[in-house]
Amino acid sequence: MANIVKLKRSGTANAAPTANSLEHGELAINYADGILFYKDATNAIVSFELSPAVNINDLNADLINLQVEVAMQAF
């Protein structure tokens, strides 16, 4: 059975998590604005704006040439 992973989330425009509401490295998303957040090692909330639209034909063309490297890291 697959595990379901749910991010902390908000559908309220311009809403952002506070440092007290996230653990270090925990993700949150504002799906109204398309912004992804995480809390870094300095307790700052870092955000990434997600692209509002993806052309699936462009994505498929890019995936053909995609090479992925995976490195095992100990934490």
Q: How far is CA 43 from CA 16, 37, 51, in A?
A: 14, 12, 26
Residue 28: Cβ within 10 Å count: 20
Q: Are 23 and 12 in contact (CB under 8 A)?
A: no
CA distance 70 to 58: 24
Cβ pair 21, 6 in contact under 8 A: no
> 6-55, pLDDT tens digit by residue?
899 999 999 999 999 999 989 999 989 889 999 999 999 999 887 666 66
Q: Take residue 2 and report the two structure tokens written for it.
A: 């697959």
Q: Answer with the residue of higher pLDDT: 70 or 33.
A: 33
